[in-house]
Amino acid sequence: MGFPLLSLIIFLPTAGVVAVLFMRDAKTIKWTALAVTLVDFVLCLLLLLGFDTSTHEMQFAEERNWIPALGIKYAVAVDGISILFVFLTALLGWICVLASWNAIETMVKAFMVSLLAMQTLMLGVFSALDLFLFYVFWEAMLVPMYAIIGIWGGERRVYAAFKFFLYTLAGSVLFLIGIIVLYFQGGRTFDILALMNADLAFVTQAWLFFAFLIAFAVKVPMVPVHTWLPDAHVEAPTAGSIILAGVLLKMGTYGFLRFSLPMLPEASVYFSTFMLILSAIAIVYGGLLALAQDDLKKLVAYSSISHMGFVTLGIFALNSRGVTGGILQMLNHGITTGALFLFVGLMYERTHSRSIADYGGLMKVAPFCSIFLGLFTLSSMALPGLNSFVGELLILSGAFAANPLLAGISILGAVLAAAYLLSMFRRVALGSARVEEQYDFWDLDRRELASILPLAVLVIWIGLYPKPFLSIIQTSADHLLTQVHDKEGAE
Amino acid sequence: MNQAQLLQSVLVSLPEIVVITGACVLLILSLFVRPERGYILDLAAIAVVLVAAALTWALADQNLLVYSGMFASDRYSAFFKAIFYISTVLTLLLSRRYVEIERVQRGEYNVLLLFALSGMMIMASANDLLSIYVGLELMALCTYVLTGLLRREVRSNEAALKYVILGAVSTGVFLYGVSLIYGLTGTTELDALATAVTASQRDPGLLLAVVFIVAGLVFKVGAVPFHMWVPDVYEGAPTPITAFMSVGPKAAGFAVILRVVLNPLLAATDVWIVVAVIAVFTMALGSFVALVQDNIKRLLAYSSIAHSGFVLLGIVAGGPDGAASVMLYLLIYTFMNIGIFAAVIAMRSEVGRGEAIDDFSGLSRSHPALALSMLLFLFALAGIPPTAGFFAKFYVLVALIEGGHVTISVIAVLLSVVAAYFYIRIVMVIYMRDPAGKFELAFTPGLKLALAIAVVGTIVIGLLPAWFLNLAQMSVLGG
């Protein structure tokens, strides 16, 4: 076991929490938080550089006994599935600090503490290799997220925070029961890798699949347990929305990839059509809802439901293109939707309005802002040459192989996305300049540009040359599929 | 019993003797200490508890049955006594300022607490229905008086009266069960009793007797359907006493229940079905009724009922893991519940303040440190990781599922989601409302220390539960 780089990445923000707790001055606190998240990001780049794409094995593994009496370990590692989300979390981490720089005026210390705590927990979720450890990270996240929505949110923040908390908690307690059942069925271990080899009866698998499904479906969110999402997104402050859309939603789909598929392969195959149907419903229904929104944040929120539907569609196509595309699309969605929420936030800071009707002609007033907004809008609707196109193409070609009918229906979602996103962009950026008359709307400043540029670079990079990202994913995704199909074939 | 046995008996029960003697000395001492130097009495009481704790520590590894088999000294009782010591010391630390504000006689207060402690200790060690009864009554009588200590307050009087009457009924029921047992089997010793019950499982008389005994004990832990006293007594009693009752006497009740019900022989019967029904109803009632409370003491009373239900699930689970999960839960509960009560007491800078939940509005702005620690305790009580409260619940669930009770555990976690709602509602009041006005906190060094101990306990057991888990597993009866 070498240098514990991964643990350092996970717990550096915790150290930041402790440091910030002893500070008084709001400015020092902000700079400390920014420094901590930036260092964390740099460490993450080191992690990416040292990552070996030729193997599906876990890398940067660390393991220590934690609660030996129950076989619980502190075990973390990354593979091709998780490393991109560790990277995404670290990237959005400092962007969130920047996004909250002026937007958060009250209780700055508590906000930065919540933000940094969130970062530790999110990184922990993506790297945990012990189910108990995973659950601790997963569940503990509720506390800072509840605070972020409930304290610094909009008008109906308390309602949204409660809804978020209770939905997620209700989902995850059944997951907890599932974990414990799995512990006993799988030979008294919480070791995720060992549990992947456990040979479970089909009935057990089916029950566990549903226990897990409830927890993950709430997080993704899949229709019909999606109703917390628009409330939480709309009320949360910008940083909260970015975290929610960028990282939290990915945890649901990550859960499918890490637990449901490899541990419950037969049930996953058996229920895959059911999952595809749910995904297609989410894609079309989310798109239709987005089409009807006047609130910018709600529009992006509902589009998330639709886009995450594509991810689950890809995953449960259960073939190489589908899964690879699904994982890439998780990354894409984090980048693009994170950026869109960033834009909604910075526009709101200037006009204090989220209603599309209040905007218009932004292109004349703030050309930079509009161009970038246009870029991310196009990325979100999967324009060829931008990141989401690669992901959605892979997903749809995978889905066609699995179920042509549902894939065909899902394409409707892509059409809808073009409709609501282009219409949004037209009404906000084009036309006569209505913003200019009412508000003092200044173009992007350096702080905002700094947080947007890396996202824009990634959008174009993945769109034009996705190979480095795909090669990270490919090996692990293929291994995952052998885990699913081997077991099924062996029966 | 010959001379040597008597000597051994006295030696083994030294912790109890120390506490009782200490209480008597303290009673006399309190006559000579001037009111403004009242802290001396607190320190003396704490010293007595610490001496007893040291003796218990020294005796912990002995596995002895003394006083003709009526009194056991084993790791099991030592573990419970540790819980009692912690809750008593924390209560003593909490009480100072509250006692001054409410003008309670300090001498009697500390002495009664110590006597209650000795009663609980006897309960933990008792191995005979009669010695259980002695400990139970000693503890109960002291808590009756402590509940009514606020002589000028109607609520306190009412609570004490209610507690005495209902408590007396429950003791009567318990005693009636004991007399039936004695009449049917000719013994009151637990082991002999278990043999008799297992041998003639369907004897309706015996069954009735066991039901009576269980009913009497369940009253003490505030489980449905014997929970009616809890909200009124918790609300009316002086807040430090409420804190004490919610952890100490409750743990003592569980110590006895575990010894009676988890006796390996008795465990072979179907008693667990009865306990399971009681547990589920207790959790449901506590969780749902707490939703509509606006007095924090009443809310915590219902929360404590819900927690009792969860602990009972550990008994349903049975086996060494079930017993260990009960014990660990009670230890963790001691820290988090005394912690939340400490925060409530800190709010009471004048008579009447800090009882309505609305009094906590905007506490995060005016007193961020206290708000943060309350946040910790509330999430611990709700069972959110990485606090100790999560591990307590987790281990009970592990034991339950190991025993094959998956359905019950699903009901339990769903009810704990309901419970989470009222805990995070308080968090909401503290963090998401604007302050109602300026006020001072009634902080004393003792209160701060108690709060710090509770915070450390809640965090450390949550992050590093291994050592405490081993301790609980080692202390299980027959383990």
CA B59 from chain center: how many Å? 23
| Six-digit token string for A100 | 């909250």
Q: How do residues B104-142 score in pLDDT, each as one tens digit? A: 777 889 999 999 999 999 999 999 999 999 999 999 999
CB-defined contacts A:B, below 8 A: 84
B-chain residues near A187 (CB < 8 A): none
Alpha-carbon distance B35 to nearest alpha carbon in chain A (angstroms): 39
Segment 44-63 of chain A within 8 Å of chain B by CB: none
Helix axes A296-315 and A320-351, enclosed angle (nearest 10): 170
Cβ neighbours of residue B426 closer than 8 Å, sequence gap 6 or more = B296, B299, B357, B360, B374, B378
Q: Who among B406, B420, B431 is closest to A181 (CB)?
A: B406
A93: amino acid identity, one letter: G
Rounded CA separation B304/B297 (Å): 10
CB-based contact B432 A170, cutoff 8 Å: no
Alpha-carbon distance A170 to nearest alpha carbon in chain B (angstroms): 6
DSSP bridge partners of B126? B71
User: According to the model, what pLDDT value does residue B263 have?
Assistant: 67
Rounded CA separation A79/A77 (Å): 7
User: Taking CA atoms, what residue in B is nearest to A109?
Assistant: B368
CA B42 from chain center: how many Å? 21
Rounded CA separation B90/B116 (Å): 14
Report chain B's mean pLDDT, rounded to a whole number: 89
A-chain residues near B465 (CB < 8 A): 67
Cβ neighbours of residue A418 closer than 8 Å, sequence gap 6 or more = A381
Exposure string over B256-270, b if 16+ CB within 10 A, otherwise e: bbbbbbbbeebbebe
Tell whether B422 lies on the interface with A, counting CB pairs under 8 A: no
Q: How do residues B213-257 score in pLDDT, each as one tens digit? A: 888 888 888 888 888 899 999 999 999 999 999 999 999 999 998
Q: How do residues A26-80 score in pLDDT, each as one tens digit? A: 889 999 999 999 999 999 999 998 888 888 888 898 999 999 889 899 999 999 8
CB-based contact B401 A140, cutoff 8 Å: no
Q: What backbone phi and psi angles, to 5 degrees, belong to A433?
A: -80, 95
Rounded CA separation A370/A350 (Å): 14
Q: What is the ipTM of this complex?
A: 0.92
Lowest mean pLDDT among B135-149, B195-209, B241-255, B459-473: B195-209
Burial class for B325, CB neighbours closer than 10 Å (0-12, 13-18, 19+): buried
Mean pLDDT of B200-212: 78
| Largest distance between two CA atoms of chain B | 70
Q: How do residues A152-198 score in pLDDT, each as one tens digit? A: 888 888 899 999 999 999 989 999 999 999 999 888 889 988 888 88
Kind and range of the H or E run holding A194: helix A192-196
Q: How do residues A88-142 score in pLDDT, each as one tens digit? A: 999 999 999 998 888 888 888 899 999 999 999 999 999 999 999 999 999 999 9
Cβ neighbours of residue B464 closer than 8 Å, sequence gap 6 or more = none
A274: amino acid identity, one letter: F
Q: How do residues A279-313 score in pLDDT, each as one tens digit? A: 999 999 999 999 988 888 899 999 999 999 999 99
CB-based contact B469 A181, cutoff 8 Å: no
CB-based contact A147 B431, cutoff 8 Å: yes
Q: Who among A68, A151, A173 is closest to B413 (CB)?
A: A173
Rounded CA separation A208/A214 (Å): 10
Burial class for B86, CB neighbours closer than 10 Å (0-12, 13-18, 19+): buried
What secondary structure, in 3-state letters, does chain B show?
CCHHHHHHHHHHCHHHHHHHHHHHHHHHHHHHCCHHHCHHHHHHHHHHHHHHHHHHHHHCCCCEEECCCCEEECHHHHHHHHHHHHHHHHHHHHHHHHHHHHCCCHHHHHHHHHHHHHHHHHHHHECEHHHHHHHHHHHHHHHHHHHCCCCCCHHHHHHHHHHHHHHHHHHHHHHHHHHHHHHHHCCCEHHHHHHHHHHCCCCHHHHHHHHHHHHHHHHHHCCCCCCCHHHHHHHHCCHHHHHHHHHHHHHHHHHHHHHHHCCHHHHCCCHHHHHHHHHHHHHHHHHHHHCCCCEHHHHHHHHHHHHHHHHHHHHHHCHHHHHHHHHHHHHHHHHHHHHHHHHHHHHCCCCCCCCEHHHHCCHHHHCHHHHHHHHHHHHHHHCCCCCHHHHHHHHHHHHHHHCCCHHHHHHHHHHHHHHHHHHHHHHHHHHHCCCCCCCCCCCCHHHHHHHHHHHHHHHHHHHCCHHHHHHHHHHCCCC
Alpha-carbon distance B268 to nearest alpha carbon in chain A (angstroms): 23
Tell whether B384 lies on the interface with A, counting CB pairs under 8 A: yes
Instruction: Look at residue A333 and tell me if it is in a domain.
Output: yes
Q: Who among A162, A169, A174 is closest to B410 (CB)?
A: A174
**B435 with B362: CB under 8 angstroms?**
yes
Tell whether A18 lies on the interface with B, counting CB pairs under 8 A: no
User: According to the model, what pLDDT value does residue B201 have?
Assistant: 64
Tell whether B407 lies on the interface with A, counting CB pairs under 8 A: no
Please give the residue that has the higher pLDDT: either B269 or A349.
Answer: A349
Alpha-carbon Rg of chain A, whole angstroms? 21
Q: Who among B384, B386, B466 is closest to A69 (CB)?
A: B466
User: Taking CA atoms, what residue in A is nearest to B420?
Assistant: A166
B-chain residues near A121 (CB < 8 A): none
User: Does the pLDDT of residue B479 top 60, yes or no?
Assistant: no
- From residue B80, alpha-carbon distances to B126, B138, B255, B275, B388 in Å are 12, 17, 7, 21, 18
Among B287, B391, B398, the residue to mutate for chain A (most A Cβ within 10 A)? B398
| Residue A491 pLDDT level (bands cut at 50, 70, 90) | very low
User: According to the model, what pLDDT value does residue B379 have?
Assistant: 94
Lowest mean pLDDT among A462-476, B185-199, B294-308, B414-428: B185-199
B-chain residues near A174 (CB < 8 A): 410, 413
A405: amino acid identity, one letter: L
The DSSP secondary structure of A267-297, one letter per residue, reads HHHHTHHHHHHHHHHHHHHHHHHHHT--BHH
For residue A222, give the DSSP letter.
Answer: P
Mean pLDDT of B335-363: 85
Tell whether B365 lies on the interface with A, counting CB pairs under 8 A: yes
Tell whether B458 lies on the interface with A, counting CB pairs under 8 A: no
CB-based contact A177 B473, cutoff 8 Å: no
Cβ neighbours of residue A197 closer than 8 Å, sequence gap 6 or more = none
User: According to the model, what pLDDT value does residue B266 have?
Assistant: 60
- From residue A383, alpha-carbon distances to A196, A299, A375, A376, A380 in Å are 38, 19, 10, 10, 8
| Residue B478 pLDDT level (bands cut at 50, 70, 90) | low
Rounded CA separation B129/B441 (Å): 46
Kind of pairing, strands A59-67 and B71-73?
unpaired
Q: Who among B390, B401, B416 is closest to A180 (CB)?
A: B401
Rounded CA separation B103/A108 (Å): 42
Segment 68-97 of chain A within 8 Å of chain B by CB: 68-70
Tell whether A157 lies on the interface with B, counting CB pairs under 8 A: yes
User: Does the pLDDT of residue B309 top 90, yes or no?
Assistant: yes
Phi-psi domain of B319 (left: phi exceeds 0; alpha: psi -120 through 50; beta: other): left
CB-based contact B432 A157, cutoff 8 Å: yes
**A79 with A52: CB under 8 angstroms?**
no
For residue A98, give the DSSP letter.
Answer: H
CB-based contact A166 B420, cutoff 8 Å: yes
| Residue B158 pLDDT level (bands cut at 50, 70, 90) | very high
User: According to the model, what pLDDT value does residue B434 have?
Assistant: 83
Rounded CA separation A65/B474 (Å): 19
User: According to the model, what pLDDT value does residue A224 have?
Assistant: 86
Among B424, B425, B430, B474, the residue to mutate for chain A (most A Cβ within 10 A)? B424
Report chain A's mean pLDDT, rounded to a whole number: 89
Instruction: Look at residue A316 and tell me if it is in a domain.
Output: yes
User: According to the model, what pLDDT value does residue A382 have?
Assistant: 87
Highest mean pLDDT among A51-65, B32-46, B370-384: B370-384
Tell whether B414 lies on the interface with A, counting CB pairs under 8 A: yes
CB-based contact A170 B414, cutoff 8 Å: yes
Question: For chain B, what's the residue count?
Answer: 479
Q: How do residues B74-92 score in pLDDT, each as one tens digit? A: 999 999 999 999 999 999 9
Tell whether A184 lies on the interface with B, counting CB pairs under 8 A: yes
What secondary structure, in 3-state letters, does B282-305 show?
HHHHHHHHHCCCCEHHHHHHHHHH
Instruction: Look at residue A67 and tell me if it is in a domain.
Output: no
Alpha-carbon distance B28 to nearest alpha carbon in chain A (angstroms): 47
The pTM of the full predicted model, rounded to 2 decimals, is: 0.94
Rounded CA separation B374/B351 (Å): 21
Kind and range of the H or E run holding A372: helix A367-380
Tell whether B133 lies on the interface with A, counting CB pairs under 8 A: no
Cβ neighbours of residue B316 closer than 8 Å, sequence gap 6 or more = B272, B275, B276, B279, B322, B400, B403, B405, B408
**A35 with A25: CB under 8 angstroms?**
no
Domain of residue A382: give its range.
Answer: 274-491
Tell whether A22 lies on the interface with B, counting CB pairs under 8 A: no
Q: What percent of chain B has pLDDT over 90?
A: 58
Count of structural domains, chain A: 1
CB-based contact A107 B365, cutoff 8 Å: yes
Q: Is A460 helix (H, G, I), strand (E, B) or coil?
A: helix
